[in-house]
Copies of this chain bind each other. A is one copy, B any other.
């Protein structure tokens, strides 16, 4: 249950940072974990409003930043001018394939590419800390037969 893991990690984070556990933070975490990945702040905000109209955009925004800070979420940016968040699977990293027609986002991972990145960077004197790889193209559903 990744959910429980994330919830515990967030609780621990709040405690160690001297922050408080609130109703809103719980609601937001619940909904964040329930909803699929790659949601914008707006997306999550609207989903939450449907169930609890008394929640504020600012709170959703601040809470998502907390999630990122404590490591249970990662911020992404696919160039549409909106930050998106996804629940992070800790040990495994992945990159993204984005369909330019329908907007579908698929995750993938390839150790050979990672390997080459390290090699290339090393050759230029860099040690890599993180990277971003996004492939934009057309998925099979959107390609004319």
Q: Which A residues form the contact surface with B (CB < 8 A)?
A: 77, 79, 97, 99-100, 106, 108, 110, 112-113, 116-117, 120-121, 124-140, 143
CB < 8 Å neighbour of A137 from B113, B121, B134:
B121
How many of these chains are in the complex? 2
- B136→A129 contact, CB < 8 A: yes
Q: Are B100 and A129 in contact (CB under 8 A)?
A: yes
Give 15 A-B pairs besides A100-B129, A121-B137, A124-B139 with Cβ atoms closer than 8 angstroms: A77-B79, A97-B121, A108-B120, A113-B120, A117-B133, A126-B135, A126-B139, A126-B140, A127-B143, A130-B136, A131-B133, A131-B134, A131-B136, A133-B133, A133-B134
CA distance A131 to B137 in the complex (A): 8
Residues of B within 8 A of A132 (CB): 79, 132-134, 136
Judge whether A125 and B139 touch: CB under 8 Å: yes
Task: Determine how close the nearest CB of chain B comes to the CB of A125; give it in whole angstroms.
Answer: 3
Contact B79 A106 (CB under 8 A): no
A111 to chain B, nearest CB (A): 10
Known: A77-B79, A79-B77. Is A129-B138 also a contact (CB below 8 A)?
yes
Closest to A112 in B: B116
- Docked-complex contact B133 and A137, CB < 8 angstroms: no
Let me know if A121 and B135 touch, CB within 8 A. Answer: yes
Minimum Cβ distance to chain B for residue A70 (Å): 20
What B residues does A138 contact at CB under 8 A? Answer: 126-127, 129
